[in-house]
Structure 1
Amino acid sequence: MFDRILVALDSSEQSDYVIQCVLQIKLQPSATIVLCHVIELSESNLEQPADLPFVDPELGQFRHIEKALQAYQAELPCQSELEIVTGDPTEEIIRLANIHHADLIVLGSRGLTGVNRILKGSVSSQVVSDASCPVLVVKL
């Protein structure tokens, strides 16, 4: 049923739970899972002087994320790809789902409520609202 699944992960413990939920989906041998992680752009990167060489302080973070995604990738029973991108999480998840023609998006929910949800926003709620395919939101 689902040939291409985009799984959006972050660096939290919840990623383990999201992967366990993905593994419970009955996958066809021909299915492809795209594991993605979105690194939010920090304002400090935007304020970098244009005339100085750019040294990416998040390069170590990128390698750490890549290794974590590769570890999850090893658990998957089908073909998989990795995507690590920077930007707004909601926009990038939707963009990647469109690029990869995802049949399903799987992501976790931070479980924010009240003022935190209003101030920080809910990535999962926005993805559910904007996605052109089904979305599975995994809550702890």
Structure 2
Amino acid sequence: MLQQYTKIMVAVDGSSEAELAFKKAVNVANRNDAELVLAHVIDTRAFQTVSSFDGMLAEQATEMAKQTLADYETYAKDHGVKHLTQVIEYGSPKPIIAKEIPEDHKVDLIMLGATGLNAVERLFIGSVSEYVIRNASCDVLVVRTDLENKIPEDTKE
């Protein structure tokens, strides 16, 4: 019997790398007849440096996330995904993507885009994908290529 995934989570943040992962996740969900969990984490640490923070930035970030997830949901359903869940969480993306959402939603595959960080940025802050690979308790697939398995022109050096 072939191994099948039942719940596939794809972490999306609006980046081109996340979009590649999303499109591949749609295909994998269809091949496995799996539920697709669209996850977006609003990094609240970014708001801590704003001295006049009054909730307006968080509201704007939430509205943008809702619209992004709605667009992704439309694409997924138009491309045959039958079961889809949207998740918006607040906090540090690394543990939320690696542990919290997968445990809460019984995810058995996490798909995410490869980091856009350079070597120096990875040294100081580390990438989400590296953290998820090391800490997730389910399978993790880091997507680097488009639907034709080619590196997109805009990411080539």
TM-score (norm: length of structure 1): 0.85
Equivalent pairs, count:
135
* Structure 1 gap ranges (5+): none
Counterpart in the other structure of 2:96: 92
State the partner residue of 2:153: none
Secondary structure of 1:135 counterpart: strand
Higher helix share: 2
Aligned AA (1:63)? E
Q: Aligned partners of 1:9, 1:43: CA distance in 2, in Å?
A: 17
8 Å contact from structure 2 (residues 11, 112) kept in 1: yes
Could you tell me which residue of structure 2 aligns to residue 9 of structure 1? Answer: 12
Identity rate of aligned residues, in percent? Answer: 29
Residue 41 of structure 2 is aligned to residue 38 of structure 1 = yes
SS state of the match for residue 18, structure 1? helix
Contact 2:10 2:38 in 1 (8 A): yes
1:20 and 2:23 correspond: yes
After TM superposition, what 4+ stretches of structure 1 lie above 4 angstroms from structure 2?
Answer: 46-49
Q: 2:138 aligned to 120, 133, 136, which one? A: 133
Q: Secondary structure of 1:63's partner? A: helix
Deviation string for 1:29-51 (max 9, x for gaps)?
xx2111011111135447869xx
Answer yes or no: is the 8 Å Cα contact 2:42–2:61 preserved in 1. Answer: no
Q: Distance in 2 between matches of 1:111 and 1:57?
A: 24
**Residues 112 and 46 of structure 1: CA distance in aligned 2, closer, same or farther (over 3 Å):** closer
> Which TM-score applies when normalising by structure 2?
0.76
The question of 1:120 aligning with 2:125 is answered yes
Give the counterpart letter for 2:8 in structure 1: I
Gaps of 5+ in 2: 146-157
Q: Is the 8 A contact 1:39 1:87 kept in 2?
A: yes
Cα distance in 2 between the residues matched to 1:96 and 1:62: 17
The 3 A distance-change label for structure 1 pair 100 and 34 is: same
